[in-house]
Each structure stands twice: as structure tokens, then as C-alpha cells.
Amino acid sequence: MEALDASSSQCGAYHEPSYLELTVSIVILLGLFVSYLPQHYRIISRGTSEGISPYFVLLGTTSATAGFANILTVPPSRAAIGCCKELDTFECAAGLLGVAQLGAQWLCFVFILVLFLIFFRYRGASVPQEELAGDAPGWRTAATVGLLCIFHGLIVIILTGVFVIALPSHLNFWANFLGVMAAALAAVQYIPQIWTTYKLKHAGSLSIPMMCIQTPGGLLFAASLFARLGWEGWSTWAIYLLTAGMQGMVLFLAISYELAARRERPVYNYTESAPASPVDRYHSSRRPVANRTYSEGWERGLPGPFTGHPELYAETEEDLDDIQEREERAIARENQPLLKPGGIGNPHKTYNSNHH
């Protein structure tokens, strides 16, 4: 009876969710998806993952996997999952938003892994080869990264199942271990990326907009998880606090190199080297007199159709276009066999070559 009352009181907190906390959690969830879109798009649009360290992808994927498994097994999340049978759909969804947030992050980073495995080569890049720096990872490196991520994910799933089914009393230990693992991987995740960015001296396919969103967003995310899980869930929110700081270092390097590259980029004055238009070429010349019989444009001093050098008579681009349009209209009206451009003969008469 006491256990039932404890369960009811524990689930009672989910019947009246904080709407402020709920709103912030939803914004963070949507922000997670939006923040990764620039990174996904940049890799796809450039046709290469150049500039992204394969070890950054490996550590990031395994860290996200451990973090997702961690939040599924910490006591507050287990309580929320267990209470869903007593809650309506809205209350259950509100209680599991923390799980959804880490699940969304895991999905987004796994997609980066997939894109890396597809675009790790340079030869199929959509950008000029001179924009690519360093050497592309070999296929063995890419295959190793992919296989290690799969192997790590399977081990986490199997061991989590063992603790849930066979060793439930030690599940808190496993949850904290996953949290420490995720934090440790996140702590070193950005070290190879910092080195890669420093070595290449440019961001490459690493998205600066993504980092601009995620660095402050990581701090907000950590605060949201702290509000939801408290000090008991330190192993969960500490990951994102640490990650935000490391990501800020990569962002600083990427922006610094991008600004330096723009300052060194030569500025060309295309207006000086561009060839002059026919009107500009002859604007200083005296306009010749168009001596001819009346035709369309006579009152404006423009020449008749089929003029050899219409640019000599045009003072503006509009005049030149007008002369060319009048010539096209004159061609359309021409019905004299020898005068019609493009051939001889009367277009309205059928000629029979068998009769002479």
C-alpha cells in the first residue's frame, strides 16, 4: 500500500507540468533539429566532408549513443516512463521531453556519421579542388569509424538490457557509468576537430552556423536538463555543459580563419575589365545621318531595317533594342522571294520540281 501511495505521489508531479519548462523544452527540441540542418546541408552541398575529423565523428556518435542510453536509464526518466500508464498522452509526452531531446540529438549526429561515410572522399566534391585542404581519409579509416560506432551501439543496447532484466538493482550504477562515458567522450570529442581545423586553417565542411546555434544552445540545454533532473542527473547535463565549451573553441578557430581568408582574398574590379557595350563604345562618336526613305522610327532619326551597324545610330541601349526589334518585325512582314531573309522563292507558292 505504501509503495502504491509512493508511486501515486511520484506520478502526481506529471499531472501538472510546468508550462514554462514545457515551452523551453519544446523550443530546445525543435532547435536541436534546426541547428543540425546547416551541417547536414553543408556536407551535401559541398559533396565532401572535408574539414571534419573522422575521430570527431566517431567520438561524437559514441558520446551521443551513451548519452541517449543514460537518460533512458536514470531514475527520473524511468519514473516518467513508468508513470505514462497513469497519465494522458499530453502529460506523458511532457514528462518524456528530456528523453526526446537526447534522442533527437542522437539521430542528428548519426546522420552526420552517415553523411561522412558517403562523402569522405574528395574526388566527388562539388567545390573546386583548390578549396580542399589536406588529404581525404582513406576508406579503411571511414570503415573503421562506421564499424566502431555500430559495435559500440550494440554493446550499449545489450548491456542495458542485461541490467534492466537481470540486474535492476545495479541499474543506477550503469546509468551513471553511461553518463560518465558520454561525458568523457564528449570531453575529448572536439580535440581532434580542434586539431584538424587548426591544421587546415579553414572550416571546410564544418558548419559555422550550426556551431553558432549550438554553442549557446548547449548551455541552455544543460540548464533545461538540470531543471528537469536536478543534481541527481548530473551525469546527464554535465555532458552538454562541457560540450558547449569545447564547441565554442572550434567556433572561435573557424570564424578566425574565415575572416582571415576573406581579408586575403583579392578583390577584382570587373567593371574596369569588362568590354564596353556597343552603345558605350560609340557614345562619343557623332551620330550619322540616316539618309533613306520613310520607315518605322524615321521621326526619331533611327535607321531603317537591315542596317549594317545599328550601334552607330543608337544613343541608348533602348534605341539599340528598338532597332533590332524593328528589324525582326520587318523580317516577319517580308514576302518578296528574293528579299526574304533565309532563302529565295515565294513562301506562299508551292513549286513542283517535276514541271519545267
Note the pLDDT tens digit of each residue in 141-164. Answer: 999 999 999 999 999 999 999 998
Torsion of CA 287, 291, 295, 297, to 10 degrees: 20
Q: How confident is the model at residue 312 (pLDDT cuts 50, 70, 90)?
A: low
Structural element, H or E, at residue 186: helix 171-200
Residue 6 has pLDDT above 50, yes or no: no
Residue 236 has pLDDT above 60, yes or no: yes
pLDDT of residue 96: 83
Structural element, H or E, at residue 264: helix 234-264
What gap in Å lies between CA 42 and CA 59, rounded to an integer? 20
pLDDT of residue 258: 86
Over residues 196-220, mean pLDDT: 86
pTM: 0.65
Which residue type does 74 have?
V
CA angle 186/187/191 to nearest 5° reads 100
What gap in Å lies between CA 211 and CA 220, rounded to an integer? 14
Indicate the SS3 state at residue 319: helix
What gap in Å lies between CA 205 and CA 50, rounded to an integer? 6
Q: In the chain, what is the straight-line distance between the N-terminal and C-terminal CA atoms, in Å?
A: 119
Which residue type does 84 have?
C
Instruction: State the burial class of residue 151 (Cβ atoms within 10 Å of its Cβ: 0-12, 13-18, 19+).
Output: exposed
- Per DSSP, 128 falls in state -
Domain boundaries, the chain: 2-128+135-264, 273-333
Which residue type does 130 have?
E
Q: Helix (H) and strand (E) counts for the chain?
A: 13, 0
Q: How confident is the model at residue 284 (pLDDT cuts 50, 70, 90)?
A: very low
What gap in Å lies between CA 261 and CA 346, rounded to an integer? 66
pLDDT of residue 314: 66
pLDDT of residue 66: 93
Over residues 1-14, mean pLDDT: 54
What gap in Å lies between CA 90 and CA 95, rounded to an integer? 9
Residues 36, 98, 220, 189, CA torsion sign: negative
What gap in Å lies between CA 95 and CA 199, rounded to an integer? 44
